[in-house]
């Protein structure tokens, strides 16, 4: 893929501006990854579905006179967390489930209260609350009746019959293409944001610099984003009332444990809405404060702001988001241009071992490659090694290119 011959000498000088580079390299949703640990979650969810369908078929075969509602009630009482699997078969989100059940138990019966609060004091309960209720509460049989009826009124019987008749291969296809897609629709944006964080954290670690949080490359969702006081460039607890306190997705530290690079990640696979506009304005304010720190407090040890920005969702409102934001970064990278990370680190003197870049010529045309060579590689003392044999060198794949180390 990286050894297609191109006559670079025949390409005239071609420089893209920032927004042109952004759109040239923007990643579609499928190229923006989910975190590694979501794969195990999906596998667990699939196994739970298979187990549930098998149990339903076994009970139905052994007791053909039982109604679907009776079978479902029995399964719920035996395994309360099965309600999270049943809801997937009728396309009900977790939020829709717990809000509907919150309403149902609040209005169940004036004489038999399933909750401690009065009818006129409706209080939201999570799915975990209902699972726990079905395990321990003395009224669990009543709640199981309410929940099973709720599912059956929404077509669960038809879904169970249809899914139970499928072969394992058909079920796998439907699960991957329909159920999982529906399940992740509302949380995909955040999850993909974490997936991008994991991807660029891995590149920083491969470059040998110190990252904070230190486990971001292995567990991007394990910790809260670190907060930084931009007036002192120190990591502090979150303080929403402090205008100098801002959170960042990753921090790069120098050998003497000083903050050198702050990474702000904004990934929008769909309409960024007002949130995207607000984050763009916030980024501009952050950059202004960093510049003030660099100019007035620490001119000899500059702190940089790097942007991880990607997604076609920015096309919904480019002028209100990505266009004005790109100038608020010292540099930016995307999923397809992760190779810009080691280039930037070498440019600011944090590393000095990047020999060259091998571009994917199936993705970048000659003009685009020349743009990256002139704009990024040459100023950092890095060679364009496309078409050259780099098999004897240490390399890492970073976006749509290979980074070659000395």
* pLDDT tens sequence across 116-162: 877 788 889 999 999 999 999 899 999 999 999 999 999 999 989 88
Q: How far is Cα 265 from Cα 83, in angstroms, rounded to an integer? A: 35
What pLDDT was estimated at residue 39?
A: 59
Given this model, what pLDDT does residue 122 score? 86
What is the pLDDT averaged over residues 235-248?
88
Token pair for residue 351? Answer: 């590393």
Strand partners, 134: none
Q: pLDDT at residue 276 above 80?
A: no
Q: Which residue has the higher pLDDT, 321 or 357?
A: 357
Mean model confidence pLDDT for the chain: 88
Q: What is the pLDDT of residue 226?
A: 92
Alpha helices by DSSP H, listed for 120-210, are: 127-136, 140-153, 156-164, 168-174, 180-184, 188-206
Q: How far apart are the C-alpha atoms of 295 and 289, rounded to whole Å?
A: 10
The least confident of 42-51, 119-128, 251-260 is: 42-51
pLDDT of 369:
96
Q: What is the mean pLDDT of residues 173-179?
A: 68
Sheet of 210-212, strands arranged across = 210-212, 250-253, 259-267, 304-310, 331-333
Please state the rounded mean pLDDT for residues 50-60.
90
Q: How far is residue 261's CA from residue 238's CA, in Å, rounded to a whole number?
A: 19
Q: Give domain limits for the chain.
A: 8-35+187-405, 37-184
Pairing type for strands 234-236 and 395-397 reads unpaired
Name the most confidently modeled range: 13-22, 89-98, 338-347: 338-347
């Amino acid at each position: 893929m990286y050894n297609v011959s191109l006559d670079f000498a025949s390409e005239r000088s071609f420089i893209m501006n920032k927004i042109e580079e952004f759109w040239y390299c923007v990643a579609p949703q499928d190229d923006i990854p989910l975190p590694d640990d979501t794969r195990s979650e999906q596998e667990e969810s699939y196994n739970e579905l298979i187990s549930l369908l098998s149990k339903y078929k076994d009970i139905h075969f052994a007791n053909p006179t039982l109604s679907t509602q009776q079978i479902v009630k029995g399964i719920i009482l035996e395994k309360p967390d099965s309600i999270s699997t049943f809801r997937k078969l009728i396309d009900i989100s977790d939020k829709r489930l717990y809000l509907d059940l919150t309403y149902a138990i609040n209005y169940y019966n004036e004489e038999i209260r399933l909750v401690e609060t009065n009818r006129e004091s409706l209080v939201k309960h999570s799915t975990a609350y209902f699972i726990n209720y079905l395990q321990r509460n003395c009224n669990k049989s009543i709640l199981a009746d309410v929940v099973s009826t709720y599912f059956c009124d929404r077509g669960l019987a038809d879904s169970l019959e249809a899914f139970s008749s499928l072969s394992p291969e058909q079920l796998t296809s439907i699960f991957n293409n329909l159920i999982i897609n529906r399940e992740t629709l509302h949380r995909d944006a955040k999850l993909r944001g974490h997936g991008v964080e994991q991807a660029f954290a891995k590149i920083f670690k491969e470059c040998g610099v110190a990252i904070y949080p230190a486990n971001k490359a292995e567990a991007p969702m394990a910790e809260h984003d670190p907060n930084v006081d931009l007036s002192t460039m120190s990591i502090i607890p979150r303080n929403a009332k402090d205008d100098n306190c801002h959170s960042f997705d990753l921090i790069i530290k120098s050998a003497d444990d000083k903050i050198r690079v702050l990474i702000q990640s904004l990934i929008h696979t769909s309409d960024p809405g007002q949130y995207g506009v607000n984050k763009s304005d916030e980024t501009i304010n952050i950059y202004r404060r960093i510049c003030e720190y660099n100019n007035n407090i620490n001119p000899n040890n500059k702190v940089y702001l790097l942007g991880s920005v990607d997604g076609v969702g920015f096309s919904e409102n480019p002028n209100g988001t990505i266009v004005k934001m790109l100038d608020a970064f010292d540099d930016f990278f995307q999923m397809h241009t992760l190779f810009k990370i080691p280039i930037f680190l070498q440019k600011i003197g944090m590393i000095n071992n990047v020999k060259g870049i091998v571009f994917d010529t199936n993705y970048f045309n000659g003009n685009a490659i020349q743009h990256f060579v002139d704009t990024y590689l040459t100023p950092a003392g890095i060679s364009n090694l496309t078409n050259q044999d780099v098999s004897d060198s240490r390399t890492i794949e970073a976006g749509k290119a290979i980074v070659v180390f000395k």
